């Protein structure tokens, strides 16, 4: 390589380096990690298993070290919950029905309050998490979102909690990408937060194309899609 060309290459790579470094996102004191529904019900062996759902556990454990604020959620249904196919005569899991607040996918019985199935995955290690929010505990109303129930009216209190603590940005992870993760991230936008979904810290159910549809809907609401490698974790 001629000397001038070598000098040029050197200058280029030097100029490029700081740009790569700055591209990583460093969660600050005003960011929170939301870990959605990493429960036995949603992993292999559970009542509503998400394919490879358990693979999110080591990823979430690792990125948790980079967050000063962590919120964990649990799907927490009554027996005979309105989102269960078994509660509707003639209906089978994964069919839909219309409830008072609109369309509802009907699921196998899952995440019943107090059951082992509803417990957090045993390998999830989040000792610094400060809040566990339970949702879906009203028998007649589902709640994919950690912010509000599926009636789009009843708040869980999460928005107020985050605002009271000065949180501006949320990073959403967990299960399932196309249901509870997506609805939580979109409702975060609705409540004025900046919102990221960490794709490799999430897994989807993908019911009739729901995963692609969810990414599209999230993008339209300004939810940003990132990988855990995009985070600057100390």
Binding stretches for ligand VGL (CB under 6 A): 37, 42, 75, 107, 144, 175-176, 179-180
CB of 42: closest distance to Zn ion in angstroms? 9
CB of 81: closest distance to Zn ion in angstroms? 7
Q: Which is nearer to ligand VGL, 66 or 186 (CB)?
A: 186
Is 178 a binding residue for Zn ion by CB under 5 A? The answer is no
Residue tagged active-site, from 41, 109, 135, 178 = 135
> Is 221 labeled as catalytic in the residue annotation?
no
CB of 29: closest distance to Zn ion in angstroms? 32
CB of 176: closest distance to ligand VGL in angstroms? 4
22 Cβ contact list (under 8 Å, min separation 6):
none
> Is 92 labeled as catalytic in the residue annotation?
no
CB of 234: closest distance to ligand VGL in angstroms? 29
Give the residue from 217, 213, 228 showing the smallest Cα distance to 190. 217
Beta strands 96-99; 102-105: pairing state:
antiparallel
Q: Which is nearer to ligand VGL, 85 or 175 (CB)?
A: 175
Q: Which is nearer to ligand VGL, 42 or 193 (CB)?
A: 42
Q: Which is nearer to ligand VGL, 107 or 215 (CB)?
A: 107
* Binding piece for Zn ion, criterion CB under 5 A, among 72-80, 113-121, 193-201, 205-213: 72-80
* Binding piece for Zn ion, criterion CB under 5 A, among 3-11, 75-83, 181-189, 217-225: 75-83
Q: Residues 75, 117, 187, 199: which binds Zn ion (CB under 5 A)?
A: 75
> Is 224 labeled as catalytic in the residue annotation?
no
HSE (CB half, 13 Å, CA atoms) of 25? 24
Residue tagged active-site, from 41, 75, 142, 180 = 180
Count of CB atoms within 10 A of residue 32's CB?
26
157 Cβ contact list (under 8 Å, min separation 6):
133
> Backbone phi, then psi, for 120, in 5-degree steps?
-65, 150
**Alpha-carbon gap, residue 230 to 201, rounded angstroms:** 12
Residue 179 contact among Zn ion, ligand VGL, none, beta carbon within 5 to 8 Å by kind: ligand VGL
Q: Catalog residues that contact Zn ion under the rule CB under 5 A.
A: 75
Residues labelled as active-site residues: 37, 135, 180
């Amino acid at each position: 390589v001629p000397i001038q060309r070598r000098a040029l290459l050197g200058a280029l790579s030097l100029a490029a380096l700081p740009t790569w470094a700055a591209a990583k996102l460093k969660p600050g004191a005003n960011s929170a990690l939301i870990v959605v529904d990493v429960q036995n019900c949603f992993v292999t062996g559970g009542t509503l298993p998400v394919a490879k759902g358990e693979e999110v556990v080591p990823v979430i454990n690792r990125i948790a070290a980079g967050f000063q604020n962590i919120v964990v959620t649990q799907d927490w249904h009554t027996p005979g919950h309105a989102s269960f196919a078994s509660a509707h005569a003639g209906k089978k899991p994964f069919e839909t029905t219309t409830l008072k607040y609109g369309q509802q996918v009907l699921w196998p019985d899952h995440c019943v309050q107090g059951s082992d199935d509803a417990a957090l995955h045993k390998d999830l290690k989040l000792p610094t998490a400060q809040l566990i929010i339970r949702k879906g505990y009203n028998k007649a109303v589902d709640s994919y979102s950690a912010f509000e129930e599926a009636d789009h009216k009843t708040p869980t209190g999460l928005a107020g909690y985050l605002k009271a603590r000065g949180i501006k940005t949320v990073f959403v992870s967990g299960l399932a990408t196309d249901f509870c993760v997506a609805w939580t991230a979109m409702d975060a936008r609705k409540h004025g937060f900046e919102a990221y979904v960490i794709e490799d810290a999430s897994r989807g159910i993908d019911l009739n194309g729901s995963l692609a549809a969810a990414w599209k809907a999230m993008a339209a609401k300004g939810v940003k899609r990132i990988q855990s490698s995009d985070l600057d974790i100390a």
